[in-house]
Amino acid sequence: MKVNEIFFSIQGESSSIGLPTIFVRFTGCNLRCTYCDTKYSYYEGEPDTPEGIMDKIRSYGIKRVCLTGGEPLIQPRGEMQQLLDLLAKEDYEVSIETDGSIDISKFHMHDRQRFILDMKVPSSSMSDKMDFENLRRIVPGRDEVKFVMGNREDYEWSKSLIRNYDLDPAKGYQLIFSPIFGDLTYEQLVNWLLEDRIDARFQVQLHKIVWDPNLRGV
């Protein structure tokens, strides 16, 4: 496995927003989104093992971990599964931030482990790379679906996916709508959600409000 950075911060996104979290950012990504804010993770990093990563995780003394990237699921599948197994054995809460293009059914998830499926909208220029079957593979009540958008087209595209794949929050589906930082105002997105009665969580990138938006390792 190749790791870009491991750091301790608050979770800036997802249902764990605001909670202290250990981040393991893996190197490499199979996509090139126009708004990517972690381009430094495309190539920078050092090799490590699941056991070595666990040693670093344990040193922080917190039982909440986010596996992110880049795209974490392009790491060797056997080693990623081994890491998930080790985290489960020590009862860590785990979220995996994945870009929606990798078949999530290839991984065995344990209790207290979930996917955050970040479906790439049209303005990312990567929406045609999505594995839309993932929207049938997610587990209601466990996994989350995130849409990060920059304009009205992105918003309408996201709404159509929710409708076409019957991602009804009443059935346990957890939906997150978030604006691309600096492209879409908070007020505009909130107004759309309220006007359309979309039962989704509006979310900002909290870490970009607490710290300089360009700061790494937070």
Q: Which segments are annotated as binding site?
A: 10-12, 25, 29, 33, 35-38, 68, 70
- Which residues define the annotated binding site for [4Fe-4S] cluster? 29, 33, 36
- Which residues define the annotated binding site for substrate? 10-12, 25, 68
- Which residues define the annotated binding site for S-adenosyl-L-methionine? 35-37, 70
Element (H, E) at 4: strand 2-10
* Cβ–Cβ < 8 Å for 192, 155: yes
Query: Which candidate, 70, 34, 11, 32, places its Cα nearest to that of 150?
Result: 34
C-alpha to C-alpha distances, 31 to 38, 73, 86, nearest whole angstrom:
12, 12, 28
* Cβ–Cβ < 8 Å for 45, 86: no
Indicate the Cα dihedral angle 145, 191, 171, 165, nearest 10°: -60
- Which residues define the annotated binding site for Mg(2+)? 38
